[in-house]
């Protein structure tokens, strides 16, 4: 039997999604917890591997099991054996034609920034602090130049293992909510560090260090050295994975927002 699961996690204390022999990972914790429920080792396949420190509000995985458990039992039993910063949002039974990675048609990320002179305390590690003033309108104007199908080599991490640097950017939006900037990106797939490298380049434009046209010029260079810095991992969230409707999975975007509650900042969710 093949199962699909929706996973939420705070990636702050993990060395990324992927299981590694020398350090802690989200995949290892999840497989260990599911294995306790299955009473045997299991291996999961995810929709998109997140880097060290990156979070997820709706990661999707699949796994094959040969034991019977109620779906609710898989969910609650797994949660019982997980640390507090990882949880299972939902579990569904799917056919063998479903693949968490290869069946996906699009992915969405949200990058959250607090833009003010004072660094955050309560939300540290869950957003990126940028003390220089950022112009969201300039950033949006520049970001629009990335829409469509392009060679994104200029925003590709050096350790990227993708066979092709060509990706289709379906949407990118920069919005401001008080001291916070939210950068939402949607594409058919992403290269290693692609979102963080785009955001780092937008920081240079938003602060006035670079002109709006520079982003398109950097894209055309197809050279990582032509673009901006790699933005920190803290503010990055994998928020949605799209699949064909035939699979009927609850994968609507779950985007983190930052709200002022009683004078304090907290992380909340908006579906």
The overall average pLDDT reported for the chain is: 92
pTM to 2 decimals? 0.92
State pLDDT tens for residues 149-207: 999 999 999 888 889 999 999 999 999 989 999 999 999 999 999 999 999 999 999 99
User: Which CATH number applies to 2-103?
Assistant: 3.30.70.580
Element (H, E) at 200: helix 194-206
Q: Distance of CA 1 to CAs 4, 47, 65, 67, 262, Å? A: 10, 19, 5, 8, 48
Per-residue pLDDT at 257: 60
SS (H, E, C) 91-139: EEEECCCCCCCCCCCEEEEEEEEECCCCCCCCCCCCCEECCCCCCHHHH
How many other CB atoms sit within 10 Å of the CB of residue 259?
Answer: 13
For the question of residue 137 being annotated catalytic, the response is no
Per-residue pLDDT at 256: 75
State pLDDT tens for residues 122-153: 888 899 999 999 999 999 999 999 999 999 99
From the candidates 24, 39, 51, 179, give the one annotated as an active-site residue. Answer: 51
2-103 and 106-238 in the same fold: yes
User: Which CATH number applies to 106-238?
Assistant: 3.30.70.660
How many other CB atoms sit within 10 Å of the CB of residue 215?
Answer: 26
pLDDT at 234 > cutoff 80: yes
pLDDT at 212 > cutoff 80: yes
Domain extent listing, the chain: 2-103, 106-238
pLDDT band at 115 (very low <50, low <70, confident <90, very high): very high
């Amino acid at each position: 039997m093949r199962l699909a699961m929706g996973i939420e996690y705070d990636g702050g204390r993990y060395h990324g999604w992927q299981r590694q022999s020398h350090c802690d990972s989200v995949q290892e914790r999840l497989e260990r917890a599911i294995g306790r429920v299955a009473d045997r080792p299991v291996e999961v396949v995810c929709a998109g591997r997140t880097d060290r420190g990156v979070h997820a509000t709706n990661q999707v995985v699949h796994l094959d099991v040969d034991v019977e458990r109620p779906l609710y039992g898989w969910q609650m039993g797994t949660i019982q054996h997980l640390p507090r910063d990882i949880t299972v949002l939902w579990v569904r039974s799917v056919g063998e034609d479903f693949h968490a990675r290869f069946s996906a048609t699009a992915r969405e990320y949200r990058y959250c920034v607090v833009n003010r002179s004072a660094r955050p305390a309560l939300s540290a590690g869950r957003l990126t602090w940028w003390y220089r003033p950022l112009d969201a309108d300039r950033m949006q104007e520049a970001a629009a130049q990335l829409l469509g199908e392009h060679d994104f080599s200029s925003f590709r991490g050096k350790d990227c293992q993708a066979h092709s640097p060509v990706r289709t950017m379906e949407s990118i939006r920069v919005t401001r909510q008080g001291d916070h900037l939210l950068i939402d990106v949607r594409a058919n797939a992403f290269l290693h560090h692609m979102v963080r490298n785009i955001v780092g380049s937008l920081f240079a434009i938003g602060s006035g260090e670079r002109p709006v046209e520079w982003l398109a010029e950097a894209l055309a260079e197809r050279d990582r050295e032509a673009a901006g810095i790699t933005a920190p991992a803290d503010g990055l969230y994998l928020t949605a994975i799209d699949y064909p409707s035939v699979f009927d999975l609850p994968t609507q975007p779950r985007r983190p927002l930052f709200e002022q509650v009683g004078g304090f900042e907290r992380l909340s969710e908006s579906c």
